[in-house]
Structure 1
Amino acid sequence: MVARALSPRSPDALSTIVRSEPNLIARGSGRAYGDSAINPSATVETRHLNRMIRFDPSSGQLVAEAGVQLGDIISAFLPHGWFPLVTPGTRFVSLGGAIAADVHGKNHHNDGSFRNCVDWIDLMRQDGTIKRCSLDEDAELFDYTLGGMGLTGVIVRAAIRLRPVETAWIRQTTISTDNLANCMQVIEGAQNATYSVAWIDCLGQAANLGRALVMLGEHAEVSDLPLDMKAAPLQIKPKKMRSVPVYLPALTLNRYSLSAFNSLYYWIGSRKRGDRIVDWKSYFYPLDSIAGWNKIYGRKGFVQFQCVLPLESSESGLTALLAEIASAGTGSFLSVLKRFGKQSGAFSFPMEGYTLALDFPVNAKVFALLDRLDRITIEHGGRFYLAKDSRMRSETLHASDERIGDFQTMRESREFTAHFRSAQSERLEL
């Protein structure tokens, strides 16, 4: 898709653009997997609005502009003992993007989604003026902006809270499980762990359906570290960036190669089960250390599917999803399962239950499989993550989420509908 990109360097320049363009959407770091931050006529990049404005060490509150990346925040504040309260699987997401998608991490079961660390948001409306919203000031706008995918205005700046940490290290516990039921049992028994995530073998069948590696995590204290790390507990040695130099041929991505990769990954992970100390980059952002990792999917690229299923139907729904994937033989290198806690939010993705994220190489069979996964998700009361969507049909989204009508009503009542639009919002009739 070709889009006209505009890159303001100040809030005043942004205001001029917002007032002059008939419709637009904001774009942060471009880390959404589809067309949620693209408007062909006017895509407004916030990458130059990237100042960190002030920090309060007594509360951990940081005020920053929307274009600041989480990685910038970590680089500035981890050496002083602060880390994001909630982070997704990449540190290259912008602050505005994290708010617009209401991103979640490996700690949702305890700490919720990104909204739980946001104190207030400065939002630019269609007339170019800035409106501050929070739980105490225009709470409705605040609520819909978190998860509203940029369709409530342009996020200019926000105040978020960081968490204090003693070290840059994570105490990781790896547990191998034989099947989905065993995996979920381990995760349910680890609700007190700060972080939990599972890699799922999505091509396992019969007794091995849903076999997994569950990785629990805690921020390490200085007393947890080996003696040679204690002198500089907030520092890690730089690692050489690995890279995928070329696009893999499409023929290498088949049932047999994916099955072999998943079996090998599970075997290696099982040999590493138990406790160990890992650095923050390895635990939170494993893909960030591999340049061009998307090339493993070939020149046609990949498509991601992510759903969440309510707690009461999670096991049956996940079983049906994994059985369908295994039967199709179109597996995923990266199949990630996480437990969500209770969630309040007018249009945020999470609900209490389990979320499954899958990457598929694009081929002739994938889109038919994804349509079947959509139907299974809807049949089990689930919904879909808009930040990962690139191909869903409007009727699928509307059948999965009863909140859409209220979201549309809010947009119309505030006269946002005509002005803040993305290719995704057009495709999904939002």
Structure 2
Amino acid sequence: MVAVSSWGRLGALQHSIVPLTDRTRLPAAIPEKFGLAYGNGRSYGDVCLNPGGVLWATRGLDHFIAFDDETGVLECEAGLLLSDIQQTLVPRGWMLPVTPGTQLITLGGAIANDVHGKNHHVMGSFGDHVLALRLLRTDGEVIDCGPTNDADWFAATVGGMGLTGVISQAQIQLRRVAGPWLEAENLPYANLDAFFELADESEAEWEHTVAWIDCISHGGGRGIFMRGNHVDADDGPQPKPGRKTVPLVPPISLVNRLTLRPFNFAYYHMQALKRGNLRVHYEPFFYPLDNLLEWNRIYGPRGFYQYQCVVPRAVGQEAVGAMLNEIARSGDGSFLAVLKTFGNRQSIGMMSFPQPGVTLALDFPNHGERTHVLFARLDAAVREAGGRLYPAKDARMPSELYKSGYPRLNEFLQYRDPGISSAMSRRLIES
């Protein structure tokens, strides 16, 4: 048994690890024994954990299978990192249409969590660009499915948290790009009214939109709105070479009531100085934290939670305001607070997180009961607004909030693999 933790570092739990390395021999490698596919471990909570059970480690399934330079259709194994795809194919004029805030996740994980990026109003979520996938069931069945064949299995697997089987490989449609650069703009804003005005006016002309929000100053209203478009350019800035690493876990969280206010004050004013247009490389624009390895250590030995919700746009401003007020009342807060809107489109996955509305994501150090009291208040605002939480980020949501937020759960359970289990599935759906 090996101790395994998710990205939130809330605890190292014992697992039996079974590496998967040869896709031609996979059915024999995953007999029915309550296992779970495990990629690069970048999920924040317990969706990627199976304490006391088996993890089928997929990072060994990291091969490109085929690529069509004319159409941009890529076929590859599920353990390949998104960074490998980007670094290999962006120089050839092709890029992933949708990526989350890190490229250090596996293709299988991106599908299983139906990840989203800064361009949902234009490109939807990751599953919208998957053309086909191969699913291995623990009873030995192999299911090849996609949006037009066995579409029910496909819809259950995209966003299905790895519970329908093991994704061994997939075919995805890349998007053509002229180069690695974007024209971007930073705009400081004063309050939530200004954020929503910027978000609404930006959707027509800007593909990528997102905001950092200061969740502890001035009632949690001000922030920096960032937007960008891909650009055809012959030259531009390159990402800084090399990556730094947080070398150790401090004895206490470096994110605390003493550091939050000065950090957020400094960050807001530093970014405000960059107001206006600038050309940026896609890596620092899309993945600002990937250059700092093991950054999750800064939260200390007790780890941290990420809380991400989506609420309908009609009540979005009221709900976000209520949550920011609760955070201000608690005295806690977040360095990493992100606010953005989702487009008016439905996800392809039965259990996918994105829905039309506005999403707020925040990191909180684990302070035990104090943190859970705050989360209960945030849950109440999400529940009242008719929203839901993101399973890829969650480690503690109540089962009733999960079930109310995902109305297709009973339909999804028909496709559940009885030989697969996770800490999250046992916590939220009792199996």
> Where on the TM-score scale, by shorter chain, does this alignment land: which range?
over 0.9
The residue aligned with 2:346 is 343
**Residue 383 of structure 2 aligns with which residue?**
378
Please name the residue that 1:419 is paired with: 419
How do 1:29-178 and structure 2 match up within 5 A?
29-39=40-50, 40-178=52-190
Asked whether the equivalents of residues 253 and 298 of structure 2 are also in contact (C-alpha less than 8 Å), the reply is no
SS at match of 2:174: strand
SS at match of 2:148: coil
Structure 1 pair 427–251 and aligned structure 2 pair: CA distance change class (3 A): closer
Question: What's the offset of the Cα at 1:186?
Answer: 0.4
Counterpart amino acid of 2:422? S
Which whole-Å CA distance do the structure 1 matches of 2:17 and 2:253 have between them? 36
Structure 2 CA distance, aligned partners of 1:200 and 1:283? 17
Task: Classify the secondary structure of the residue corresponding to 2:321.
Answer: helix
Q: SS at the partner of 2:296?
A: helix
* RMSD (Å) for aligned C-alpha atoms: 1.6
Q: Partner of 2:17 in structure 1?
A: 5
Q: Is the 8 A contact 2:163 2:420 kept in 1?
A: yes
2:10 alignment counterpart: none
1:227-257 deviations in Å (ceiling 9; x for gaps): xx2xxx6x93552323333434537533242
Letter matched to residue 224 of structure 2 = L
Q: Contact 1:205–1:323 (CA<8 Å) still a contact in 2?
A: no
Q: Distance in 1 between matches of 2:320 and 2:336?
A: 16
For 1:344, the aligned partner's letter is S
Question: 2: CA distance between counterparts of 1:13 and 1:343?
Answer: 36
Could you tell me how far apart the structure 1 residues matched to 2:155 and 2:333 are?
36
**Distance in 1 of aligned mates of 2:341 and 2:401:** 24
Residue 195 of structure 1 corresponds to 208
Residues 116-169 of structure 1: CA distance to partner in whole angstroms, max 9, x if unpaired? 111011111222232110122111110111100011111011000111111211
Alignment of 1:359-398 (within 5 A): 359-364=363-368, 365-398=370-403
Equivalents in 2 of 1:252, 1:122: separation in Å? Answer: 43
SS at match of 2:271: helix
Quick check: 210-219 or 395-404, which moved more? Answer: 395-404
Is residue 196 of structure 2 the alignment partner of residue 184 of structure 1?
A: yes
How many percent of aligned residue pairs carry the same amino acid?
A: 41
- Between the aligned partners of 1:86 and 1:58, the Cα distance in structure 2 is 20
Residue of structure 1 in register with 2:407 after alignment: 402
| Counterparts of 1:303 and 1:267, CA distance in 2 | 27
Give, in angstroms, the shift of residue 170 of structure 1. Answer: 1.6
SS of the residue 1:3 aligns to: strand
5+ residue gaps, structure 2: 1-12
Query: Would the aligned equivalents of 2:351 and 2:406 in 1 still touch at CA under 8 Å?
Result: no
In 1, the alpha carbon distance for the partners of 2:340 and 2:413 equals 29
TM-score by length of 1: 0.92
- Contact persistence 2:95–2:177 (CA under 8 A): yes
Q: Are the structure 2 counterparts of residues 363 and 260 from structure 1 closer, same or farther at C-alpha, using a change threshold of 3 Å?
A: same
Q: Which residue of 2 aligns with 1:288?
A: 290
1:302 is matched with which residue?
304
* Distance (whole Å) between structure 2 residues aligned to residue 186 and residue 317 of structure 1: 18
Per-residue displacement from partner, 1:201-230 (whole Å, max 9, x unpaired)?
Answer: 011234xx32110100111211xx6xxx2x
3-state SS of 1:74 partner: helix
Deviation (angstroms), 1:173: 0.4
* Number of equivalent positions: 413
Deviates more, 1:4-13 or 1:48-57: 4-13
3-state DSSP of counterpart to 1:176: strand
Deviation readout 1:279-312 (Å, 9 max, x if unpaired): 1111011110012211221221111101001111
Partner secondary structure for residue 326 of structure 2:
helix
Does the C-alpha gap of structure 1 residues 138 and 113 become closer, same or farther in structure 2, counting only changes over 3 Å?
Answer: same
Deviation at 1:314, TM superposition (A): 0.7
TM-score (norm 2): 0.92
d(CA) in 2 for partners of 1:251, 1:407: 39
Q: Pairwise mapping of residues 249-288 of structure 1 onto structure 2 (< 5 A)?
A: 249-250=251-252, 252-288=254-290
Give the letter for the 1:305 counterpart: Y
Whether the aligned pair in 1 keeps the contact of 2:255 and 2:299 (CA below 8 Å) is yes
Richer in helix (by share): 1
| Superimposed CA distance per residue, residues 330-349 of structure 1 (whole angstroms, 9 cap, x where no aligned partner) | 10010011111112332110
SS in 1 for 2:351: coil
Residue 27 of structure 1, CA deviation:
0.9
Match of 1:25?
Answer: 36
Aligned equivalent of 1:355, options 342, 353, 359: 359
Letter in 2 for 1:145: T
By how many angstroms is 1:112 displaced?
A: 0.2
Please list every run of 5 or more consecutive structure 1 residues that lacks an aligned counterpart in the other structure: none
Partner of 2:7: none
SS at structure 1 position matched to 2:242: coil
